[in-house]
Amino acid sequence: MTAASNVAYDATEVSKVFFARDGPVWALQDVSMRIEHGSFTCIVGPSGCGKSTFLRILGGLETPTSGSVEVSSDAGDQPSAAFVFQEHGVFPWFSVLDNVAFGLRMSGMGKRSREDIARDWINQVGLTDFEDSYPHQLSGGMRQRIAIARAFATGSPILLMDEPLGALDAQTRLLMQEQLVRLWELERKTVVLVTHSIEEALLLGDRVVVMTARPGRVKDDIAVPFERPRTVDVERTLEFGDLRHHIWEALRDEVLASVEQS
């Protein structure tokens, strides 16, 4: 089976089992999902529902126990998906500039051109004056922006983000959400974003996938109707409230179940 040309990822009945000390743990069960090129998909679900695992499987960092993921080869020789991790995963021994340029360096780009691109993205995320600083000299929010710039700088058409804003305080988070919307609307990359926050999913995504408690399955798949370009103002509309309520209704039982599991 080959994926249709406008499909970036076609996951079919993906299951993942981990082996813990007291027996196997089903992280994912028969998750099927198609992700189209240029779409922004948000995955929400209770803690431990395997949504991060699914993201890692999409990105090829983990292999599914069973099932398959078709990755479209449309991108040609473009670099594979760029990741933004929950704990940002920036390298403490590299300056901001070297961190942002890291993906390009690994794909063999010369120093001059990769640093030009990296500087551009450092500007985009508002870290202009900090390119020579080391991550430990910066705040958590700034480190997370390094991670986001690093992902965008690879030029990869696909971005996989695992709670990229989860570790931020509420206000910084709002600012970063606005920034993400802006960057995405500029570039129209294919984005899959895992988040805890329903509001964030509705603000950023074209589509919100709700997952069940462990073992993770797709419970609901909701199209987000808001026009682009978007601003945080959509959160004040009636429709936003309705959708948020709808998703919370779907999520509520799962969160309860996940609390009982742990």
Which chain residues interact with other proteins by CB under 8 A? 59, 61, 79-83, 85-87, 89-94, 102-103, 106-107, 126-130, 132-138, 150, 154, 179, 182
CA–CA distance, 167 with 148 (Å, rounded to integer): 13
Q: Which segments of 154-215 does DSSP mark as H helices, in order? A: 170-187, 198-204
Residue with smaller CB distance to other proteins, 85 or 240: 85
Cα maximum dimension of the chain: 54
Secondary element (H or E) of residue 252: helix 238-261
Residue with smaller CB distance to other proteins, 142 or 211: 142
- Closest contact distance (angstroms) between CB of 130 and other proteins is 6
Residue with smaller CB distance to other proteins, 65 or 133: 133
- Closest contact distance (angstroms) between CB of 113 and other proteins is 17
Whether the Cβ atoms of residue 100 and residue 122 lie closer than 8 Å to each other: yes
- Closest contact distance (angstroms) between CB of 241 and other proteins is 28
- Which two structure tokens, joined as six digits, stand for 52? 């991060």
Residue with smaller CB distance to other proteins, 21 or 136: 136
- The CA-atom distances, in angstroms, between 230 and each of 94, 135, 179, 224 are 34, 31, 11, 12
Secondary element (H or E) of residue 24: strand 23-36
Q: Which amino acid is at 227?
A: E
- Closest contact distance (angstroms) between CB of 59 and other proteins is 6
- Closest contact distance (angstroms) between CB of 117 and other proteins is 14
54-77 burial code (b ≥16 CB/10 A, e <16): bbbbbbeebebeebebbbbeebee
Query: How big is the CA angle at 124 (ends 180 and 186), to the nearest 5 degrees?
Result: 55
- Closest contact distance (angstroms) between CB of 259 and other proteins is 25
Residue with smaller CB distance to other proteins, 62 or 74: 62
Residue with smaller CB distance to other proteins, 40 or 102: 102
Residue with smaller CB distance to other proteins, 118 or 213: 118
CB neighbour list of residue 45: distance below 8 Å, 6 or more residues apart: 51, 210, 211, 212, 213, 216, 251, 254
